Amino acid sequence: MEDSVLKRVFDIEVFEHTAQKVTKELIKHLRATLQEEHEKTLSWNTPDKELNYWKDFLETGNQETFFKEIFKRTTHTHHPKYVGHQVSAPAPITVLTAMISAVLNNGMAVYEMGMSPSAIEKVVTDSICKKIGYASGYAGLLTSGGTLANLTALLSARRAKVAHDIWNEGYAQPLGVMVCEQAHYCIDRAAKIMGLGENGIIKIASKADFSMDTAQLEQAYEEAISSGIKIFAIVGSAPSTPTGAYDNLNAIAEFAKAKDLWFHVDGAHGGAAIYSNKYRYLLRGIEQSDSVVIDGHKMMLMPTITTALLFKNKQHAKHTFSQTADYLLDTVEEEDWINSGKKTFECTKTMMCMHWYVLLKFYGDQLFDEFVTRQYDLAKTFEEIIIKDNDFELATSPMSNILCFRYCPSGLDDNEINRQNAHIRQMLLEDGEFYMVQTKLRNRLYLRTSLMNPFTTKTHLQQLLKKIKTASATINQ
Ligand X SMILES: *Cc1c(COP(=O)(O)O)cnc(C)c1O
Contact residues for ligand X (CB under 6 A)? 86, 145-147, 150, 184, 186, 237, 240-241, 266, 268-269, 295, 307
Least separation in angstroms between residue 401's CB and ligand X is: 12
Cβ proximity to ligand X: between 139 and 190 the closer is: 190
- Pair 313, 137: CB distance under 8 Å: yes
Decide whether 211 or 420 has the Cβ nearer to ligand X: 211
- In whole angstroms, give the CA distance from residue 354 to residue 118: 10
Report, in Å, the least distance between residue 39 CB and ligand X.
Answer: 29
Question: In the 8-state DSSP scheme, what is residue 206?
Answer: B
Question: Shortest Cβ distance from residue 450 to ligand X (Å)?
Answer: 9
Burial track 318-348 (b if 16+ CB lie within 10 A, e otherwise)? bbbeeeebeeeeeeeeeeebbbbbbbbbbee
Distances (CA, A) of 169 to 191, 199, 325, 369: 18, 21, 11, 46
Distance in Å, CB of 148 to ligand X, minimum = 7
Q: Provide, rounded to whole angstroms, the least separation between the CB of residue 15 and ligand X.
A: 32
Rounded least distance, CB 467 to ligand X, Å: 26
- Quick one: 158 or 269, whose CB is closer to ligand X? 269
Q: How far is the CB of 153 from ligand X (least distance, A)?
A: 11
Return the number of the residue (87 or 465) whose C-beta is nearest ligand X: 87
**For ligand X, the closer CB: 420 or 450:** 450
Comparing CB distances to ligand X, the nearer of 147 and 291 is 147
Chain centroid offset of residue 265 CA: 13
Q: How far is the CB of 179 from ligand X (least distance, A)?
A: 11
- Antiparallel, parallel or unpaired: β 230-237 and 201-204: unpaired
Question: Which residue is at the shortest CB distance from ligand X?
Answer: 146
Q: Tell me phi and psi for residue 407, to 5 degrees.
A: -85, 120
Tell me the β-bridge partners of 292: 265, 310
DSSP code, position 272: G
Residues 6+ apart with CB under 8 A from 278: 373, 376, 377
Task: Give the residue among 261, 255, 201 at the shortest CA–CA distance from 229.
Answer: 201
Smaller CB separation from ligand X, 240 or 276: 240
> Cβ closer to ligand X: 275 or 337?
275
Give the integer Cα–Cα distance in Å for 444 and 432. Answer: 24
Q: How far is the CB of 268 from ligand X (least distance, A)?
A: 4
Q: Which residues, 6 or more positions from 60, have their beta carbon under 8 angstroms from its beta carbon?
A: none
Return d(Cα 383, Cα 397) in angstroms, integer.
7
Residue placing its CB nearer to ligand X in the complex, 145 or 432: 145
| 269: three-class secondary structure by DSSP | coil
Nearest to 287 by CA among 415, 135, 434: 135
